[in-house]
Structure 1
Amino acid sequence: MNSRSTESILADPLAAEEKEAARVPMTEEGFTPFYQRTVRQLSAYVRRVSGNPSLAEDLVQESYLRLLSARAPWDQGEDACRRYLFRIATNLLRDHWRRPVGRPLGEVPERALPAVDPPPVENPDYGNLGAALLSLRPVERQLLWLAHAEGMSHREIAAVTGFGTARIRLALYRSRHKLARALRREMMIREVRR
């Protein structure tokens, strides 16, 4: 501890106690409203980036569990905690993508496969966009989602992803153009099918 921080603690011991008290893990009463305000956004983000609703559900639950067991920045406000939560989810997605792929489904006996829910009814307004988004790489979907659906700045996206802001700016530019091309392609395909 340097002399400056020692002096500030000696000068105002209550401020030091308040700061340490703010680092205490979140209580259930404080967490519940935070969860209710963030779960839809985080679920949508992880679903869009992963492209897999059941995986997204698992990763969202694990994100909140890790947030509660970590020393989250509760003292820095809800926005900081929200960015931290998205960072956890991003890291969980990366960990998932790094894992070796299991055996192909063709090698698994059909009786061992779980029952599949019917696909959700496709919203005609979002069909082209959904298909176009799925044609992008996960990291491209991730950046676009954070920037446009979550309204995060380049600096906030950098805090969530661990990339530099210059890289984010360039990757977003490229991802937007790639999405636009994919969207035009999807729209042409749908017109031909009509």
Structure 2
Amino acid sequence: MDQTPGPRRLERLTVEDPDEDLVLRVARGDPAAVQALVARKLPRVLALAQRMLGDPAEAEDVAQEAMLRAWRQAPHWRPGQARFDTWLHRVGLNLCYDRLRRRREIPTEAPPDRPDEGPAPDRGLFAADTGRRVQAALDALPDRQREALVLCHYQELTNIEAARLMEVSVEAMESLLSRGRRALRAALADLAPGREGR
């Protein structure tokens, strides 16, 4: 079951949260604020979910659910308790983990067919194949290593921010990143520069 964190569990602010005013306006029912919040946050939540799940349709569902929870949480938001962005990332990650758990609980005989979303066949074949290989290697990582890499490399959080979000020490975060990078390097060794034509 999803355990959506409340804002009180996350770090206290020392600087003003740039999203606070927007969230307060959403809480008051301002439609323009809702539209602005979605425009500002949806792309990052969607990118996070796509990297964690590797499935565009599931990622869209997660992103929409996260934004719905943000809208519902807005009237209960207490400025100064936590950064809204941190809370929203945690909600998105929890929703992703719920879906990943469900995948493990429902065995399938064969993987579902996915449409090829790469570039046209006559161009970009190597880039499309590389992107699929990277995503497959990322999908094969243990959940915590994948989460650390997605937060730091794709969501561009600092190690400190990602460690807080994952509720681990900075040293543990660096260890997860190191192990994840090592596993990716091993899985993608043949893609090293100069080896494309081999």
Fold match, TM over 0.5?
A: yes
Gapped runs of 5+ residues in structure 2?
1-22
Aligned to 1:134: 136
Aligned to 2:9: none
Share of identical aligned residues, percent?
21
Retained in 1: the 8 A contact 2:152–2:162? yes
Retained in 1: the 8 A contact 2:49–2:59? yes
Distance 1:117 1:174 in 2: 29
Q: Given the alignment, which residue of 80, 84, 87 partners 1:81? A: 84
Distance 2:77 2:130 in 1: 39
Aligned to 1:109: none
Aligned length: 163
Q: Which amino acid aligns with 2:145?
A: E
1:117 deviation in Å? 6.3
Gapped runs of 5+ residues in structure 1?
1-20, 107-112
Q: 1:30 to 1:75 in 2, by over 3 A?
A: farther
Aligned to 1:167: 172
1:93 deviation in Å? 1.3
Q: Given the alignment, which residue of 143, 153, 161 partners 1:148? A: 153
Retained in 2: the 8 A contact 1:45–1:142? no
Per-residue Cα deviation, 1:30-55 (whole angstroms, up to 9, x for no partner): 23222212222221111011111111
Distance 1:164 1:28 in 2: 39
Q: TM-score, normalised by structure 2?
A: 0.67
Per-residue Cα deviation, 1:21-73 (whole angstroms, up to 9, x for no partner): 95982643223222212222221111011111111111111111111212575
Retained in 1: the 8 A contact 2:152–2:159? yes
Q: 1:94 to 1:118 in 2, by over 3 A?
A: closer
Per-residue Cα deviation, 1:128-173 (whole angstroms, up to 9, x for no partner): 2441332232433322121122221122112332333221111011
Distance 1:126 1:171 in 2: 27
Distance 2:31 2:186 in 1: 46
Matches within 5 A, 1:172-183: 172-183=177-188
The answer on 1:42 being equivalent to 2:75 is no
Distance 1:150 1:29 in 2: 26
SS at match of 1:135: helix
Q: Given the alignment, which residue of 97, 105, 108 partners 1:104? A: 108
Aligned to 1:10: none
RMSD: 3.3
Retained in 2: the 8 A contact 1:23–1:74? no
Retained in 1: the 8 A contact 2:149–2:177? yes
Identify the range of structure 1 (160-169 vs 142-151) with the bigger mean alpha-carbon deviation. 160-169
Distance 1:151 1:74 in 2: 26
Q: TM-score, normalised by structure 1?
A: 0.68
Report which of the two structures shows the higher radius of gyration computed on alpha carbons.
1
Distance 1:146 1:29 in 2: 29
Q: Which amino acid aligns with 1:128?
A: T
Per-residue Cα deviation, 1:64-86 (whole angstroms, up to 9, x for no partner): 11112125757349x92222111
Q: Which has the higher contact order (CA 8 A, sep 6+)?
A: 2
Q: Which amino acid aligns with 1:119?
A: D
Aligned to 1:120: 117
Q: Which amino acid aligns with 1:140?
A: Q
